[in-house]
Amino acid sequence: MPITITQVRNAQSLNADNTRMDVEINHPDYGWIPYTLDPIDTDTTIDNNVVMSLIDTNFTAYVAPTQAEIDSETALQVRSDRDYKLLTEVDPLVSNPLRWADISSSKQTEWAQYRTNLLNVPQQSGFPNTISWPEKPV
**Is 117 in the same domain as 83?**
yes
Beta bridge partners of 25: 8, 33
CB 61 within 8 A of CB 75: no
**Is 74 in the same domain as 44?**
no
Is 32 contained in some domain? yes
Per-residue pLDDT of the chain (138 residues; tens, 9 = 90+): 789 999 999 999 999 999 999 999 999 999 999 999 999 999 989 999 999 999 999 999 999 999 999 999 999 999 999 999 999 999 999 999 999 999 999 999 999 999 999 999 999 999 999 999 999 999
**Is 75 in the same domain as 110?**
yes
Beta bridge partners of 48: none
Where in the sequence is the domain holding 94, given as residue range(s)? Answer: 67-123
In whole angstroms, give the CA distance from residue 26 to residue 47.
13
In whole angstroms, give the CA distance from residue 78 to residue 36.
28
The pTM score is: 0.69
**Is 42 in the same domain as 73?**
no
Instruction: Tell me the DSSP string of 68-83.
Output: HHHHHHHHHHHHHHHH
Is 129 contained in some domain? no
